[in-house]
Amino acid sequence: MKIGPGMGMIVCILVPIVLLLFGILTIMQALAGILLLSGLWAIVYGIVFARLRDRVYDIGAGIIVIAVSTFVFLPVEYVLGLVLISVIAIVLTSITMTRNSKIG
């Protein structure tokens, strides 16, 4: 059985919804929880299951989604700053990985 990104995403969505229905989380916290768990799953999927050439992009997408999930705790300007820093880091990592693979 091949593990795809959708299997983990189902859990990432359902766990915060269950916590919302039990009254543990508010709607905004549940949304942030969905984003946080989705970002963590993207990172885990990128490290463990993704193809080598897709690994940087899967991990980078997870980092961006985690940065977006901080909207509940941080002002919007800081969240956008974190997202931009993440995008810059992903681009630089991608360029470095591409150059290193062409050299070797």
Domain count for the chain: 1
What pTM did the predictor assign?
0.86
Backbone angles phi, psi at 11, to 5 degrees: -65, -40
pLDDT at residue 102, as a whole number: 65
Q: Which domain holds residue 32?
A: 5-103
**DSSP secondary structure letters along the chain:** ----HHHHHHHHHHHHHHHHHTTSS-HHHHHHHHHHHHHHHHHHHHHHTS-GGGHHHHHHHHHHHHHHGGGGTS-HHHHHHHHHHHHHHHHHHHHHHHHHHHH-
pLDDT of 4: 76
pLDDT band at 67 (very low <50, low <70, confident <90, very high): very high
Tell me: the pLDDT tens digits for 18-60? 999 999 999 999 999 999 999 999 999 999 988 877 888 899 9
CA–CA dist 55, 60 (Å, integer): 8
Q: Is the pLDDT of residue 104 over 60?
A: no
